[in-house]
Chains A and B, each alone.
Chain A
């Protein structure tokens, strides 16, 4: 039983990463109608910046906001990364990396718990932007009906650029989270593009809660699939794939999706 509880917790923690990773991806897909295959690369930009900050020992909270504001510059940076850092492995290791919260026989790694919390805060920030600000209304309007959005006076080009920038910024922060437990290389972000895609298929487009549900569900499926009796880790991808196909058949707009 506690084995199962442990797996569920690990699944949710992994799911938190997927939430963080998929927020920007889902936004850009839903509004710009772009399935951004460079999303993983944007995530790695965030990882490298986190790594650089740790190396320089200047990490502090307000920087999170500078992330949000400044990450609008996109793909060119990825090639810059390759030039600057080469393709060697790097990782951010803190003194608390190995520690965890012990509840009976269940262990919750602090670093992963932190990742989940940051992911939920990120989701909250995105929700606030979309649902409580004028710009957010503009972004949702463009996602829902471009022509109608233009007719109320929304500058499409401006909103597109802004949406992409926000998506990239969120990818960057997700990269920061990832850098705390995974080696960083310029191409290490690639799997996250695919996982973001899966999260969106699972949860649906058009609302933040769909990304949260999709991300957590995908994390759970992956971890529980790996640990299911009689199945090895080799089956995790196959199980995830089967679930995705089932969702596509039974509920094509995803668990909570609003946009088709």
Chain B
């Protein structure tokens, strides 16, 4: 008899749950694709190691290619994309085109961090072969850091020129390190980064070509820059925060 409330409750919960599921309208899933060919390997053509804002689209689509044993592109192989919760693909699966490629637009999940996204295909033996790409989602402070980087730092620290501006990197007698260079930045503590950004190169016995920004940028802006540097470093620093992967 004492179980009565639990029974009553479970009935209520079950009713509620069924109501909830019947109300949540799932989008109709696309008709299943049938592969017309099978490859032996799947490789990245482009789109790995990109940076987006949380929940946002990667700036470039992800393109993967399916090859056979000889390394020739296979047309009509089925490629499925998958990733951790919150990551979405448009399309989530497709057949390779005449150059053996599939292109998908990827939106990352709602939390800042590194995301592993997987592209897989089935080979002739019905075994799954897959490739995993790393992508980065920036939260608020990293996005702010990225904007500050573009405004103040990038022209020295990024060797690549853009359409708008020529990089100053080659003109510097002492070369700064691009912020993606994890091997360098992962060895510098947050405190040291703060010191060199605030007080300039000489603060860490480095070149005065690295100016002091402590009177130009606020403490929280410098913090934002550091969180950006930590977010984009490759390889990632230890304790960089969670990595989101499938399951």
User: Do A and B make up one complex?
Assistant: no
